[in-house]
């Protein structure tokens, strides 16, 4: 009974969510696309002719947006889950933190890239502290990967959860990048602890 009640509440909330409705009208795979749109408008991350890695890309709304709105890009989308095809993308199913898949990404670009994006989060457990720590570990791994693959003037955008590990993430970010901002899009769900760090210019 409890599971059914939670499912019904989730469905009800989805129907009320303006960003869910808008994503369906505009043909995007999830409401998460509007987070990227807000981030890009504020921080000018994306442009024509750049190379981009979309980490944890499934179901693919960020890659969809980039593919639809920017020309002459090189885009790699990688996730543990299989995704439906998206035009102008090279899709990899695998763990970006595995050296085999990192090599695939590097071989595709054959040079450093302009932007690394990450909307990754571990599956929630119901324990907020555990969820914060798990997602922070993903963020740290993405930071290390970005340091290795980004151009000197490159940009890194990554989801973080505000909590016990926030200061640690900020410290590590400042050791790698010269410019760091924290931003919570208005399209993030109410009550969510998520924010994004926007990092530019490698040290």
Which residues form the catalytic set?
A: 159
Strand, coil or helix: what is 125? Answer: coil
Q: Identify the H or E element spanning 163.
A: none
Torsion sign (Cα): 1, 193, 129, 173:
positive
* Residue 56, token pair as written in the block: 């944890």
List b or e across 15-43, with b for residues whose CB sees 16 or more CB atoms inside 10 angstroms: eeeebeeebeeeebbbbbbbbbbbbbeeb
Residue among 114, 116, 88, 89 at smallest CA distance from 102 = 116
> Could you give the CA distance from residue 158 to residue 168 in angstroms, rounded to a whole number?
14
């Amino acid at each position: 009974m409890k599971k059914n009640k939670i499912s019904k509440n989730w469905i009800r909330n989805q129907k009320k969510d303006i960003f869910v409705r808008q994503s369906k009208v505009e043909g995007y795979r999830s409401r998460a696309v509007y987070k990227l749109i807000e981030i890009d408008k504020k921080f000018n991350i994306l442009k024509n002719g750049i190379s981009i890695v979309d980490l944890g890309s499934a179901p693919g709304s960020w890659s969809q947006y980039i593919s639809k709105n920017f020309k002459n890009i090189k885009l790699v989308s990688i996730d543990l889950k299989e995704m439906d095809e998206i035009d102008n993308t090279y899709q990899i199913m695998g763990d970006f933190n595995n050296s085999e898949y990192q090599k695939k990404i590097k071989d595709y670009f054959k040079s450093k890239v302009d932007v690394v994006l990450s909307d990754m989060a571990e599956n929630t457990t119901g324990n907020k502290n555990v969820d914060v720590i798990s997602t922070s570990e993903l963020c740290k791994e993405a930071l290390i990967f970005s340091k290795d693959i980004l151009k000197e003037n490159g940009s890194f955008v990554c989801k973080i959860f505000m909590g016990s590990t926030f200061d640690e993430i900020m410290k590590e970010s400042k050791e790698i990048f010269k410019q760091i901002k924290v931003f919570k899009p208005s399209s993030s769900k109410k009550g969510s602890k998520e924010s994004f760090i926007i990092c530019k210019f490698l040290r």
